[in-house]
Structure formats: structure tokens, C-alpha cells
Amino acid sequence: MEAAMQWSTLVVDADKRLPAICLKCGAHKHIVRRNERLVAATAAQGLGAVGGVCGVMVARAMREDPVAGAFALAASLAGSLVVGYVVHRQAPKVDLALPLCRACNERWTNGVSARRIMLAILCAAFAAFAYGFLARDVFGYVVGGVAMGVAVFVAIVARLRDRFIAATDIRGTRVVLSRVSDDARDAIERRLANRV
């Protein structure tokens, strides 16, 4: 996918089948339907602020008492996971059959695999940091830092966000899809207008 690709939003009705036009590139041939459950992105916007507050508290605790700071960090991570899970469970969701060309569908599938690899690398980085802290071994910090760098590198090189469609808002059957190509949006809006 070219770096110059422009992304748009597209408002769709979840009860109506989308035209056979690839949402990622606007192609009209070799279209497959990818069944996906999309979660409203607006439901998770407050998690960043919560994470920032927890980070400040952990940094302060680390300065005053490193052991207490480590426990505060573990508690913050566990709390963030619980809050994230609850928010995800309560968030509006929609099941859509997303039209994608074969190439974009394969990019999506590869993106899911890359995301899982990134998560595994981040878990390994956290384990290395924990080892470095508990054992007071610089090697753990070095390994954790390298693993974190690799995860960031994978995310940037793989351009993971560009591989997926997201729902920025879900209200009833009205769904706002983001990261749709401009060509696809224009073609789909014309096709939907002709149906009326």
C-alpha cells in the first residue's frame, strides 16, 4: 500500500450489505467478505488519561521506594488490564462483513499475526525489565529495551494501523468506519445513493 494513500471515514448502516468494493484500496475485482466484530474506539479514549495518571504515581513511588514502586507498577498494570477488559466488554460492538480485495484481506490477516508477535515481544520486554529490577541486573534492562525497540520497529515497518478498518462510533445500526480509502468511500457512497 502506497505511503500517499489517503484515509477517510464512511458512515454505513450495519443492517445493509456493503457494496462489493474493497474498503482499503477501492478495487472492484476479487472481493471477499471478511466477517469482523468491530468495537467502538470512543469507548477506550479515556484509558490513555488513566494510564498517564498511573505512570506519574508509579514514577513518584519508584523515586521514594523502588520496591514499593515495583509493586505499584504491577498493581497499575493489573488494574489497567481489568479496566481495559471491562471497557471493552461494555463498549458498543457491531458485526460486519467487510468487503476487501484478496490482497488487502491477506494484508489484514498478516497484520493480525504481526500484532500477536508484537504482543509477545512486549510481554518478553516486561519480563526482562522485571528480571532486571528484581535481580538488579543491567542485562535485564538491556534485553527489555531492545525488545521494546523491536516491537516499536515492527509496528512502524508493518504499518499495522493502515491494514485494518476501525469503527470510531457505533450508534444503533449507524457505524462510522475509519481508515477507508478515499476511492472506496466515493465509490460506495455513489453506489448507495443509486440504491435509494
User: pLDDT per residue over 11-65, tens digit each?
Assistant: 999 999 999 999 999 999 999 999 999 988 754 555 555 555 556 555 565 566 6
pLDDT in tens, 130-158: 888 778 888 988 898 898 888 888 888 88
Question: Residue 165 corresponds to which cell in the numbers above?
Answer: 478498518
Tell me the CA distances in angstroms from 7 to 2, 79, 102, 161, one per residue in order: 12, 34, 19, 11
This model's pTM is above 0.75 = no
Cα 180 from Cα 196, distance rounded (Å): 22
With a cut of 70, say whether residue 71 has pLDDT above it: no
Burial profile 119-146: b = 16 or more Cβ within 10 angstroms, e = fewer: eebbebbbebbebbbeeeeeebeebbee
